[in-house]
């Protein structure tokens, strides 16, 4: 591998320093131009695409040109003079090498190596909390995800939603939000009755009976398993006993059995919900009537053709929606309105629903319902997670719950393990389809991205053991010798950790963290392959390189934990 030579530093500073610098720049301008202090735009620092333009660039002069009634370059030069005054501060002068103005009016900041070394010191100070931010200010966010009907085991589609929801919850907590993970159990309605009918039919067949199976019944082998269990548990010997048994008993048995299966699968997938809500309890007849009456008083409900309609077009939906049919039964929308009122009654600041692509058309009507309940449109955020397609031997694996031809989450866990399963389900943006290569997920080579990242983490522990044998200590501050390209590139990535977490928040997608960890591992392995870490002839440099490796280990571990992936010490 070709290794680099010393170069001018270019790296992403930690968010903490970036925010501090922005605040100081803001204060300096307001002090220098008191007549504009209440109307000056805030200073924002961006990372230029071209490293020749510095580590940070601000367009504050461009935004203030009209206010000052001067060309942007003139304003930029004025502001540059003000900012230069900040460099009288010894700490800032140590971290900022120079400030330049570039056409058409950008102010560019070039950072000194000391700023990079501060990142390493901060990592060792913060350890498991490195990258943590107070951004969310403890605002309460409820994240409802998976919420699969208890009519079968969790499928690959549910597995991807589980990985996304859990990782996103972890990230939001890490940057200061108070999150509640919630699973909504749809234990009412037609699909639950079909489950009971399917179990009863298979039970009759298992005793030698002939029965017409429901056309839309659930056909997986798990139905046959439950049918036999129902017979054994109730000591049933004759078909006539099954025929006399109330359908509700089959339904209740099926829901309870499958819900236990779902909970066990999620638990083994390292996804844990704080709240399990049940439709049968929340959307009771009484609560439905109360919410319906509330909407009627607000004139959002009207009668037409014997049915009750919700005026969802008042809130941007393409047509009004039926909430109670002419036969007196409710559509799916009405219990969902009740459930979301229940969420807001629990005082959440933000509600996030994570759904599959088959629910995309349902978003406008539910957002309309939220507004009818008196909330702002953005009080509900709906994330659509596209489907994942499993590939085995180059061929896609068929998935259909009712035909019984599907791969369950349990099968994926058993085949590739939890770490690979979770990581692979996160390897694309949530709004694009995901191809999951089962063979690749099982490889123990650098081709497998999760193995590649975990190996970087384990490699540090191996080097630490060698360093201990050589009686070598690592530094935790006072760095000055890490000036090689690979060293600085690695520090660059370490400094950007919290920025990546903010990207995940703004995109409401953990993919940016997945990509970041892959890039960080690449920089780590390149550094290690290019430079000798333990060198008895150069103990001071060795101690700094050992520190750099351990800083990378800390950040890798923090990122992997947020994704719900383990951090092995040996591989």
Residue-level pLDDT at 237: 94
Instruction: Determine, yes or no, domain membership for 483.
Output: yes
Query: Mean pLDDT, the chain, as a whole number?
Result: 92
Instruction: Determine, yes or no, domain membership for 406.
Output: no
Give the dihedral of Cα atoms 228, 231, 237, 242; nearest 10 deg: -110
* Tokens matching residue 345: 């009654």
Does 221 score more than 80 pLDDT? yes
Which residues are registered as beta bridge partners of 351?
Answer: 142, 380
Does 337 score more than 90 pLDDT? yes
Instruction: Determine, yes or no, domain membership for 308.
Output: no
Instruction: Determine, yes or no, domain membership for 229.
Output: no
Contact 334, 324 (CB under 8 A): yes
Closest C-alpha among 159, 564, 185 to residue 385: 159
Q: Roughly how many angstroms between the first and final C-alpha of the chain, as a whole number?
A: 23
* Tokens matching residue 391: 């590939």
Give the number of other Cβ atoms within 10 Å of residue 490's Cβ. Answer: 28
The whole-angstrom separation of Cα 63 and Cα 36 is 13
Q: Which of 111, 133, 164 is the last residue of a domain?
A: 111
Instruction: Determine, yes or no, domain membership for 309.
Output: no
311 Cβ neighbours under 8 A, 6+ residues apart: 299, 300, 301, 302, 320, 372
Q: Which of 54, 82, 111 is the last residue of a domain?
A: 111
CB-based burial of residue 304 (10 Å sphere; 0-12 exposed, 13-18 middle, 19+ buried)? exposed
3-state secondary structure of 126: helix
Contact 132, 174 (CB under 8 A): yes
* Tokens matching residue 215: 């056309």
Range of the domain at 499: 445-563
Instruction: Determine, yes or no, domain membership for 240.
Output: no
**402-446 per-position pLDDT tens digit:** 444 568 899 999 999 999 999 999 999 999 999 999 999 999 999
Give the dihedral of Cα atoms 258, 260, 262, 267; nearest 10 deg: -170
Instruction: Determine, yes or no, domain membership for 347.
Output: no
Question: Kind of pairing, strands 96-102 and 307-310?
Answer: unpaired
* Residue 14 main-chain phi, psi, to 5 deg: -65, 150
CATH code, 555: 1.10.730.10
**167-177 per-position pLDDT tens digit:** 999 999 999 99
Does 399 score more than 60 pLDDT? no
The whole-angstrom separation of Cα 286 and Cα 29 is 60
**76-131 per-position pLDDT tens digit:** 999 999 999 998 888 888 888 899 999 999 999 988 877 888 889 999 999 999 99
**18-54 per-position pLDDT tens digit:** 778 899 999 999 999 999 989 999 999 887 877 788 8
Number of independent structural domains in the chain: 2
Mean predicted confidence (pLDDT) in 371-376 = 96
Instruction: Determine, yes or no, domain membership for 493.
Output: yes
CATH code, 24: 3.30.1360.70
């Amino acid at each position: 591998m070709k290794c680099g030579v010393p170069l001018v530093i270019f790296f992403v500073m930690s968010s903490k320093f970036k925010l501090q610098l922005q605040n100081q720049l803001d204060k300096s301008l307001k002090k220098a131009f008191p007549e504009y202090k209440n109307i000056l735009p805030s200073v924002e620092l961006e990372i230029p695409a071209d490293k020749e333009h510095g580590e940070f660039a601000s367009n504050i002069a461009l935004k203030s040109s009209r206010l000052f009634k001067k060309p942007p370059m003139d304003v930029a030069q004025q502001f540059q003079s003000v900012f230069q005054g900040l460099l009288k501060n010894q700490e800032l002068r140590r971290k900022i090498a120079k400030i330049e103005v570039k056409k058409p009016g950008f102010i560019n900041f070039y950072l000194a190596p000391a700023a990079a070394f501060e990142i390493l010191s901060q990592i060792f100070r913060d350890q498991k909390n490195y990258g943590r931010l107070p951004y969310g200010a403890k605002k309460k966010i409820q994240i409802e995800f998976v919420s699969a009907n208890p009519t079968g085991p969790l499928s690959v589609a549910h597995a991807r939603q589980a990985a996304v929801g859990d990782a996103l919850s972890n990230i939001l907590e890490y940057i200061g939000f108070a999150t509640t993970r919630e699973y909504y159990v749809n234990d009412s309605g037609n699909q639950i009755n079909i489950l009971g009918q399917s179990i009863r039919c298979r039970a009759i067949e298992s005793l030698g009976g002939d029965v017409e199976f429901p056309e839309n019944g659930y056909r997986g082998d798990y139905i046959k398993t439950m049918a036999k269990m129902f017979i054994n548990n109730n000591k049933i010997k004759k078909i006539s006993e099954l025929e006399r048994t109330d359908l509700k008993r089959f339904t209740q048995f099926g829901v309870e059995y499958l819900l236990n299966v779902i909970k066990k699968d999620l638990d083994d997938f390292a996804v844990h919900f704080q709240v399990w809500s049940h439709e049968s309890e929340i959307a009771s007849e009484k609560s439905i009537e109360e919410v319906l009456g509330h909407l009627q008083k607000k004139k959002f409900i009207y009668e037409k053709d014997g049915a009750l309609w919700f005026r969802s077009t008042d809130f941007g939906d393409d047509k009004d929606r039926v909430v109670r049919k002419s036969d007196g039964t409710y559509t799916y929308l009405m219990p969902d309105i009740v459930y979301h009122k229940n969420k807001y009654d629990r005082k959440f600041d933000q509600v996030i629903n994570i759904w599959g692509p088959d629910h995309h058309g349902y978003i406008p009507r539910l957002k309309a319902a939220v507004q009818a309940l008196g909330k702002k449109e953005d009080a509900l955020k709906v994330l659509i997670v596209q489907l994942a397609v499993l590939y085995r031997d180059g061929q896609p694996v068929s998935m259909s719950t009712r035909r019984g031809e599907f791969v369950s989450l349990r099968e994926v866990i058993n085949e590739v393990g939890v770490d690979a399963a979770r990581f692979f389900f996160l390897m694309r943006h949530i709004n694009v389809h995901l191809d999951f290569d089962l063979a690749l997920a099982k490889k123990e080579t650098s081709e497998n991205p999760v193995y590649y990242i975990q190996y970087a983490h384990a490699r540090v522990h191996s080097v630490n053991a060698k360093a201990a044998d050589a009686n070598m200590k690592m530094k935790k501050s006072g760095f000055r010798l890490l000036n090689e390209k690979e060293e600085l590139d690695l520090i660059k990535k370490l400094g950007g950790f919290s920025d990546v977490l903010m990207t995940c928040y703004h995109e409401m997608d953990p993919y940016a963290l997945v990509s970041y960890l892959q890039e960080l591992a690449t920089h780590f392995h390149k550094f290690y392959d290019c430079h000798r870490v333990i060198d008895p002839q150069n103990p001071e440099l060795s101690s700094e390189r050992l520190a750099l490796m351990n800083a990378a280990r800390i950040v890798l571990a923090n990122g992997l934990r947020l994704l719900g992936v383990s951090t092995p010490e040996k591989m």
